[in-house]
Structure 1
Protein backbone atom coordinates (compact mmCIF):
# COMPACT_ATOMS: atom_id res chain seq x y z
CA UNK A 1 0.00 0.00 0.00
CA UNK A 2 1.35 3.42 -0.91
CA UNK A 3 2.03 6.06 1.71
CA UNK A 4 -0.61 8.29 0.11
CA UNK A 5 -3.28 5.57 0.34
CA UNK A 6 -2.34 4.71 3.94
CA UNK A 7 -2.45 8.36 4.91
CA UNK A 8 -5.91 8.68 3.36
CA UNK A 9 -7.21 5.69 5.33
CA UNK A 10 -5.74 7.11 8.55
CA UNK A 11 -7.47 10.45 8.00
CA UNK A 12 -10.80 8.69 7.31
CA UNK A 13 -10.51 6.70 10.53
CA UNK A 14 -9.76 9.83 12.58
CA UNK A 15 -12.73 11.65 11.07
CA UNK A 16 -15.03 8.70 11.80
CA UNK A 17 -13.86 8.36 15.40
CA UNK A 18 -14.23 12.09 16.01
CA UNK A 19 -17.72 11.94 14.56
CA UNK A 20 -18.69 9.11 16.88
CA UNK A 21 -17.29 10.86 19.93
CA UNK A 22 -19.06 14.15 19.24
CA UNK A 23 -21.89 14.62 21.81
CA UNK A 24 -25.39 14.51 20.39
CA UNK A 25 -27.16 17.84 20.15
CA UNK A 26 -29.39 18.45 23.14
CA UNK A 27 -33.07 17.97 22.41
CA UNK A 28 -35.64 20.53 23.55
CA UNK A 29 -37.66 19.61 26.63
CA UNK A 30 -40.95 18.37 25.18
CA UNK A 31 -44.10 19.45 27.00
CA UNK A 32 -47.78 18.98 26.21
CA UNK A 33 -50.49 21.43 27.18
CA UNK A 34 -53.44 19.14 27.85
CA UNK A 35 -56.83 20.66 28.51
CA UNK A 36 -60.04 22.14 27.17
CA UNK A 37 -60.88 25.34 25.25
CA UNK A 38 -58.85 27.44 27.68
CA UNK A 39 -55.77 25.49 26.62
CA UNK A 40 -56.78 25.06 22.97
CA UNK A 41 -57.22 28.79 22.33
CA UNK A 42 -60.94 28.99 21.61
CA UNK A 43 -61.64 31.40 18.70
CA UNK A 44 -58.05 32.64 18.73
CA UNK A 45 -55.37 32.50 16.03
CA UNK A 46 -53.07 29.54 16.65
CA UNK A 47 -50.17 31.80 17.62
CA UNK A 48 -52.23 33.36 20.45
CA UNK A 49 -53.12 30.07 22.16
CA UNK A 50 -51.75 29.48 25.64
CA UNK A 51 -49.17 26.76 24.73
CA UNK A 52 -47.65 28.94 22.01
CA UNK A 53 -47.47 32.07 24.14
CA UNK A 54 -46.04 30.14 27.10
CA UNK A 55 -43.41 28.46 24.90
CA UNK A 56 -42.37 31.86 23.59
CA UNK A 57 -42.12 33.26 27.11
CA UNK A 58 -40.06 30.32 28.37
CA UNK A 59 -37.71 30.51 25.40
CA UNK A 60 -37.24 34.20 26.12
CA UNK A 61 -36.03 33.08 29.56
CA UNK A 62 -33.39 30.92 27.86
CA UNK A 63 -35.20 27.58 28.23
CA UNK A 64 -35.08 25.18 25.26
CA UNK A 65 -38.64 23.88 25.34
CA UNK A 66 -41.46 22.94 23.01
CA UNK A 67 -45.13 22.85 24.06
CA UNK A 68 -47.60 20.88 21.95
CA UNK A 69 -51.20 22.02 22.09
CA UNK A 70 -53.46 19.10 23.11
CA UNK A 71 -56.40 21.25 24.13
CA UNK A 72 -59.87 20.23 22.95
CA UNK A 73 -62.75 22.67 23.24
CA UNK A 74 -65.62 21.34 25.32
CA UNK A 75 -63.54 18.57 26.85
CA UNK A 76 -64.38 17.28 30.32
CA UNK A 77 -62.20 15.26 32.65
CA UNK A 78 -63.99 12.14 31.39
CA UNK A 79 -63.09 13.03 27.81
CA UNK A 80 -59.55 13.85 28.81
CA UNK A 81 -59.13 10.53 30.59
CA UNK A 82 -60.33 8.71 27.48
CA UNK A 83 -57.80 10.39 25.17
CA UNK A 84 -54.78 11.20 27.31
CA UNK A 85 -52.77 8.07 26.45
CA UNK A 86 -52.74 8.79 22.73
CA UNK A 87 -52.74 12.60 23.04
CA UNK A 88 -49.50 12.60 25.03
CA UNK A 89 -46.82 10.87 22.93
CA UNK A 90 -43.87 8.90 24.20
CA UNK A 91 -40.88 11.15 24.72
CA UNK A 92 -42.93 13.83 26.44
CA UNK A 93 -41.12 15.10 29.55
CA UNK A 94 -43.97 17.01 31.17
CA UNK A 95 -47.67 17.77 30.88
CA UNK A 96 -49.45 20.95 31.89
CA UNK A 97 -52.78 19.41 32.90
CA UNK A 98 -55.78 21.77 32.85
CA UNK A 99 -59.24 20.24 32.96
CA UNK A 100 -62.41 20.57 34.99
CA UNK A 101 -64.01 23.81 33.84
CA UNK A 102 -66.60 22.02 31.72
CA UNK A 103 -67.29 19.55 34.52
CA UNK A 104 -68.21 22.46 36.77
CA UNK A 105 -70.33 24.16 34.11
CA UNK A 106 -72.28 20.91 33.64
CA UNK A 107 -72.61 20.21 37.33
CA UNK A 108 -70.62 16.98 37.22
CA UNK A 109 -70.17 15.53 40.70
CA UNK A 110 -66.85 16.83 42.06
CA UNK A 111 -66.01 13.32 43.22
CA UNK A 112 -66.13 12.12 39.60
CA UNK A 113 -63.97 15.01 38.45
CA UNK A 114 -61.43 14.26 41.16
CA UNK A 115 -61.32 10.57 40.28
CA UNK A 116 -60.74 11.34 36.60
CA UNK A 117 -57.95 13.83 37.33
CA UNK A 118 -56.37 11.43 39.80
CA UNK A 119 -56.30 8.67 37.20
CA UNK A 120 -54.77 11.01 34.60
CA UNK A 121 -51.99 12.12 36.93
CA UNK A 122 -51.35 8.52 37.99
CA UNK A 123 -51.17 7.36 34.38
CA UNK A 124 -48.74 10.08 33.37
CA UNK A 125 -46.49 9.43 36.34
CA UNK A 126 -46.45 5.71 35.56
CA UNK A 127 -45.06 6.63 32.12
CA UNK A 128 -42.33 8.75 33.69
CA UNK A 129 -44.01 12.00 32.63
CA UNK A 130 -44.00 14.91 35.09
CA UNK A 131 -47.19 16.88 35.71
CA UNK A 132 -47.89 20.53 36.39
CA UNK A 133 -51.49 20.56 37.60
CA UNK A 134 -53.56 23.65 36.83
CA UNK A 135 -56.61 24.40 38.95
CA UNK A 136 -60.03 25.72 38.00
CA UNK A 137 -62.66 27.33 40.23
CA UNK A 138 -66.35 26.48 39.99
CA UNK A 139 -68.57 29.34 38.76
CA UNK A 140 -70.43 31.13 41.58
CA UNK A 141 -73.84 30.18 40.21
CA UNK A 142 -73.16 26.55 41.17
CA UNK A 143 -73.62 27.48 44.81
CA UNK A 144 -71.38 27.49 47.86
CA UNK A 145 -71.72 23.79 48.67
CA UNK A 146 -70.78 22.64 45.17
CA UNK A 147 -67.95 25.19 44.93
CA UNK A 148 -66.46 24.08 48.22
CA UNK A 149 -66.43 20.45 47.09
CA UNK A 150 -65.09 21.27 43.64
CA UNK A 151 -62.48 23.90 44.41
CA UNK A 152 -60.61 21.70 46.87
CA UNK A 153 -60.00 18.94 44.30
CA UNK A 154 -56.78 20.26 42.83
CA UNK A 155 -54.89 20.84 46.06
CA UNK A 156 -55.72 17.32 47.27
CA UNK A 157 -54.50 15.73 44.04
CA UNK A 158 -51.32 17.83 44.00
CA UNK A 159 -50.52 16.81 47.57
CA UNK A 160 -51.36 13.16 46.97
CA UNK A 161 -49.05 12.87 43.96
CA UNK A 162 -46.43 15.41 44.96
CA UNK A 163 -46.89 17.49 41.79
CA UNK A 164 -46.70 21.28 41.49
CA UNK A 165 -50.02 23.15 41.41
CA UNK A 166 -50.95 26.44 39.81
CA UNK A 167 -54.19 27.18 41.69
CA UNK A 168 -56.33 29.08 39.16
CA UNK A 169 -55.75 29.15 35.41
CA UNK A 170 -57.84 32.29 34.79
CA UNK A 171 -56.21 34.35 37.53
CA UNK A 172 -56.19 38.01 36.52
CA UNK A 173 -58.59 37.45 33.62
CA UNK A 174 -61.90 36.19 34.97
CA UNK A 175 -63.00 39.58 36.37
CA UNK A 176 -61.67 41.75 33.54
CA UNK A 177 -63.96 42.04 30.51
CA UNK A 178 -61.18 43.68 28.45
CA UNK A 179 -59.25 40.40 28.63
CA UNK A 180 -62.16 38.19 27.55
CA UNK A 181 -63.99 37.30 24.39
CA UNK A 182 -67.55 38.51 24.00
CA UNK A 183 -68.85 35.32 25.62
CA UNK A 184 -67.40 36.46 28.93
CA UNK A 185 -65.94 33.00 29.53
CA UNK A 186 -62.83 32.67 27.39
CA UNK A 187 -59.70 34.85 27.31
CA UNK A 188 -58.79 36.86 24.26
CA UNK A 189 -55.20 36.99 23.05
CA UNK A 190 -54.31 39.72 25.51
CA UNK A 191 -55.96 37.74 28.29
CA UNK A 192 -53.89 34.68 27.43
CA UNK A 193 -50.84 36.90 27.70
CA UNK A 194 -51.85 37.81 31.26
CA UNK A 195 -52.37 34.13 32.08
CA UNK A 196 -48.90 33.34 30.76
CA UNK A 197 -47.36 36.18 32.76
CA UNK A 198 -49.01 34.93 35.96
CA UNK A 199 -48.10 31.25 35.52
CA UNK A 200 -44.60 31.87 34.14
CA UNK A 201 -42.66 31.56 37.45
CA UNK A 202 -44.38 28.23 38.19
CA UNK A 203 -43.87 26.95 34.64
CA UNK A 204 -40.23 28.06 34.60
CA UNK A 205 -39.49 26.22 37.84
CA UNK A 206 -41.24 23.13 36.45
CA UNK A 207 -39.16 23.14 33.26
CA UNK A 208 -35.92 23.73 35.13
CA UNK A 209 -36.61 20.68 37.31
CA UNK A 210 -37.18 18.63 34.19
CA UNK A 211 -33.88 19.89 32.79
CA UNK A 212 -32.08 18.70 35.91
CA UNK A 213 -33.31 15.16 35.30
CA UNK A 214 -32.11 15.03 31.69
Structure 2
Protein backbone atom coordinates (compact mmCIF):
# COMPACT_ATOMS: atom_id res chain seq x y z
CA UNK A 1 0.00 0.00 0.00
CA UNK A 2 1.29 3.49 -0.83
CA UNK A 3 2.56 5.52 2.05
CA UNK A 4 3.71 9.09 2.47
CA UNK A 5 7.44 9.72 2.83
CA UNK A 6 9.07 11.83 5.51
CA UNK A 7 9.44 15.49 4.63
CA UNK A 8 12.89 16.51 3.46
CA UNK A 9 14.61 19.86 3.10
CA UNK A 10 13.58 21.94 0.06
CA UNK A 11 15.33 21.11 -3.20
CA UNK A 12 16.40 24.18 -5.19
CA UNK A 13 16.73 23.26 -8.85
CA UNK A 14 16.45 25.23 -12.05
CA UNK A 15 14.51 24.07 -15.11
CA UNK A 16 17.85 23.36 -16.82
CA UNK A 17 19.01 21.23 -13.88
CA UNK A 18 15.75 19.25 -13.93
CA UNK A 19 16.11 18.59 -17.67
CA UNK A 20 19.72 17.50 -17.11
CA UNK A 21 18.58 15.25 -14.28
CA UNK A 22 16.07 13.55 -16.59
CA UNK A 23 18.85 12.89 -19.13
CA UNK A 24 21.07 11.40 -16.44
CA UNK A 25 18.16 9.28 -15.24
CA UNK A 26 17.79 7.76 -18.70
CA UNK A 27 21.51 6.98 -18.81
CA UNK A 28 21.31 5.55 -15.30
CA UNK A 29 18.41 3.29 -16.25
CA UNK A 30 20.40 1.93 -19.20
CA UNK A 31 23.34 1.22 -16.91
CA UNK A 32 21.07 -0.49 -14.38
CA UNK A 33 19.59 -2.67 -17.11
CA UNK A 34 23.08 -3.80 -18.10
CA UNK A 35 23.88 -4.53 -14.46
CA UNK A 36 20.69 -6.56 -14.16
CA UNK A 37 21.64 -8.56 -17.22
CA UNK A 38 25.05 -9.29 -15.74
CA UNK A 39 23.37 -10.13 -12.43
CA UNK A 40 21.06 -12.57 -14.14
CA UNK A 41 24.01 -14.12 -15.90
CA UNK A 42 25.77 -14.62 -12.60
CA UNK A 43 22.64 -16.06 -11.02
CA UNK A 44 22.09 -18.44 -13.91
CA UNK A 45 25.70 -19.52 -13.80
CA UNK A 46 25.41 -20.13 -10.09
CA UNK A 47 22.18 -22.07 -10.53
CA UNK A 48 23.71 -24.52 -12.98
CA UNK A 49 25.05 -26.44 -10.04
CA UNK A 50 21.96 -26.05 -7.87
CA UNK A 51 18.86 -23.99 -7.08
CA UNK A 52 18.52 -20.26 -7.46
CA UNK A 53 18.87 -18.90 -3.94
CA UNK A 54 17.06 -16.06 -2.20
CA UNK A 55 20.32 -14.11 -2.19
CA UNK A 56 20.53 -14.32 -5.99
CA UNK A 57 16.96 -13.08 -6.40
CA UNK A 58 17.38 -10.25 -3.87
CA UNK A 59 20.54 -9.01 -5.59
CA UNK A 60 18.80 -8.96 -8.97
CA UNK A 61 15.62 -7.25 -7.73
CA UNK A 62 17.64 -4.52 -5.99
CA UNK A 63 18.19 -2.78 -9.32
CA UNK A 64 14.67 -3.12 -10.68
CA UNK A 65 12.89 -0.37 -8.73
CA UNK A 66 14.77 2.42 -10.49
CA UNK A 67 14.04 1.08 -13.96
CA UNK A 68 10.25 1.21 -13.61
CA UNK A 69 9.63 4.26 -11.43
CA UNK A 70 6.96 6.70 -12.63
CA UNK A 71 8.22 10.16 -13.64
CA UNK A 72 5.59 12.89 -13.40
CA UNK A 73 6.25 16.42 -14.68
CA UNK A 74 3.65 19.06 -13.96
CA UNK A 75 2.79 22.73 -14.34
CA UNK A 76 0.76 24.33 -11.58
CA UNK A 77 -1.31 27.51 -11.86
CA UNK A 78 -2.39 29.32 -8.68
CA UNK A 79 -4.80 32.23 -8.31
CA UNK A 80 -4.57 34.84 -5.56
CA UNK A 81 -7.34 37.34 -4.82
CA UNK A 82 -7.49 40.45 -2.62
CA UNK A 83 -3.88 40.04 -1.53
CA UNK A 84 -2.77 42.95 0.68
CA UNK A 85 0.65 41.68 1.73
CA UNK A 86 3.76 40.07 0.24
CA UNK A 87 3.49 36.64 -1.38
CA UNK A 88 6.26 34.45 0.05
CA UNK A 89 8.54 37.47 0.13
CA UNK A 90 7.45 38.87 -3.24
CA UNK A 91 6.40 42.42 -2.30
CA UNK A 92 4.73 43.33 -5.61
CA UNK A 93 1.88 41.00 -4.69
CA UNK A 94 0.45 43.57 -2.28
CA UNK A 95 0.25 46.16 -5.08
CA UNK A 96 -1.39 43.76 -7.52
CA UNK A 97 -3.99 42.35 -5.15
CA UNK A 98 -5.25 39.80 -7.68
CA UNK A 99 -2.74 37.78 -9.69
CA UNK A 100 -1.92 34.37 -11.13
CA UNK A 101 1.20 32.36 -10.29
CA UNK A 102 2.65 29.53 -12.38
CA UNK A 103 5.50 27.11 -11.66
CA UNK A 104 6.86 23.73 -12.80
CA UNK A 105 7.84 20.65 -10.83
CA UNK A 106 8.78 17.00 -11.25
CA UNK A 107 8.07 13.92 -9.13
CA UNK A 108 9.52 10.40 -9.11
CA UNK A 109 7.23 7.64 -7.79
CA UNK A 110 8.41 4.11 -7.10
CA UNK A 111 9.81 1.56 -4.67
CA UNK A 112 13.34 1.81 -3.29
CA UNK A 113 14.33 -1.79 -3.91
CA UNK A 114 18.04 -1.01 -3.55
CA UNK A 115 18.01 -2.14 0.09
CA UNK A 116 16.19 -5.45 -0.51
CA UNK A 117 17.74 -8.32 1.47
CA UNK A 118 17.50 -12.09 1.16
CA UNK A 119 15.21 -12.38 4.19
CA UNK A 120 12.52 -10.59 2.14
CA UNK A 121 12.61 -13.38 -0.45
CA UNK A 122 10.94 -16.74 0.19
CA UNK A 123 11.57 -19.61 -2.23
CA UNK A 124 9.22 -22.58 -1.97
CA UNK A 125 9.71 -25.04 -4.79
CA UNK A 126 8.50 -23.33 -7.95
CA UNK A 127 6.97 -20.40 -6.05
CA UNK A 128 8.71 -17.20 -4.95
CA UNK A 129 7.33 -14.52 -2.63
CA UNK A 130 9.12 -11.18 -2.49
CA UNK A 131 8.33 -8.32 -0.12
CA UNK A 132 9.56 -4.93 -1.34
CA UNK A 133 9.29 -1.41 0.14
CA UNK A 134 5.97 0.36 -0.44
CA UNK A 135 5.51 2.63 -3.43
CA UNK A 136 6.15 6.22 -2.42
CA UNK A 137 7.34 9.56 -3.71
CA UNK A 138 11.08 9.12 -4.04
CA UNK A 139 11.89 12.66 -5.16
CA UNK A 140 10.06 15.93 -5.67
CA UNK A 141 11.68 19.00 -7.25
CA UNK A 142 10.27 22.44 -7.94
CA UNK A 143 12.24 24.60 -10.38
CA UNK A 144 12.84 27.86 -8.56
CA UNK A 145 13.39 29.76 -11.81
CA UNK A 146 10.03 28.58 -13.16
CA UNK A 147 8.00 30.62 -10.66
CA UNK A 148 6.30 33.44 -12.55
CA UNK A 149 3.26 35.69 -12.44
CA UNK A 150 0.89 36.66 -15.25
CA UNK A 151 1.35 40.24 -16.44
CA UNK A 152 -2.18 41.05 -17.60
CA UNK A 153 -1.03 44.24 -19.33
CA UNK A 154 1.57 42.52 -21.49
CA UNK A 155 -0.33 39.20 -21.46
CA UNK A 156 2.77 37.16 -20.62
CA UNK A 157 4.15 35.32 -17.61
CA UNK A 158 7.12 37.04 -15.98
CA UNK A 159 9.65 35.25 -13.79
CA UNK A 160 9.74 36.38 -10.17
CA UNK A 161 12.00 35.68 -7.22
CA UNK A 162 10.37 34.53 -4.00
CA UNK A 163 12.31 35.63 -0.96
CA UNK A 164 10.68 32.80 1.00
CA UNK A 165 11.00 30.08 -1.62
CA UNK A 166 11.60 27.40 1.05
CA UNK A 167 8.15 28.04 2.52
CA UNK A 168 6.58 28.15 -0.94
CA UNK A 169 8.26 24.84 -1.81
CA UNK A 170 7.05 23.18 1.40
CA UNK A 171 3.45 24.34 0.94
CA UNK A 172 3.24 23.44 -2.74
CA UNK A 173 5.00 20.12 -2.28
CA UNK A 174 2.47 19.12 0.36
CA UNK A 175 -0.49 20.22 -1.79
CA UNK A 176 0.73 18.46 -4.94
CA UNK A 177 1.62 15.23 -3.12
CA UNK A 178 -1.75 15.10 -1.38
CA UNK A 179 -3.37 15.30 -4.82
CA UNK A 180 -1.11 12.58 -6.21
CA UNK A 181 -2.04 10.11 -3.47
CA UNK A 182 -5.60 10.18 -4.83
CA UNK A 183 -4.57 9.34 -8.40
CA UNK A 184 -3.75 6.04 -10.10
CA UNK A 185 -0.03 6.84 -10.38
CA UNK A 186 0.82 4.81 -7.27
CA UNK A 187 -1.19 1.77 -8.36
CA UNK A 188 0.35 2.05 -11.83
CA UNK A 189 3.82 2.05 -10.30
CA UNK A 190 2.94 -1.07 -8.27
CA UNK A 191 1.61 -2.88 -11.33
CA UNK A 192 4.66 -2.03 -13.43
CA UNK A 193 7.10 -3.16 -10.75
CA UNK A 194 5.20 -6.39 -10.12
CA UNK A 195 5.24 -7.20 -13.83
CA UNK A 196 8.98 -6.58 -14.19
CA UNK A 197 9.85 -8.58 -11.07
CA UNK A 198 7.60 -11.43 -12.20
CA UNK A 199 9.23 -11.71 -15.62
CA UNK A 200 12.76 -11.25 -14.28
CA UNK A 201 12.53 -13.82 -11.48
CA UNK A 202 10.80 -16.40 -13.67
CA UNK A 203 13.68 -16.03 -16.13
CA UNK A 204 16.17 -16.86 -13.38
CA UNK A 205 14.86 -20.34 -12.71
CA UNK A 206 12.04 -22.81 -13.22
CA UNK A 207 9.54 -20.71 -11.25
CA UNK A 208 5.83 -20.75 -12.11
CA UNK A 209 4.51 -18.31 -9.51
CA UNK A 210 6.04 -15.03 -8.33
CA UNK A 211 4.15 -13.03 -5.70
CA UNK A 212 5.18 -9.46 -4.93
CA UNK A 213 4.03 -7.83 -1.69
CA UNK A 214 4.57 -4.23 -0.57
CA UNK A 215 5.30 -3.15 3.00
Using the size of structure 2 for normalisation, the TM-score is: 0.25
Greater helix percent: which structure? 1
The structure with higher relative contact order (CA 8 Å, sep 6+) is 2
Greater strand percent: which structure? 2
Using the size of structure 1 for normalisation, the TM-score is: 0.25
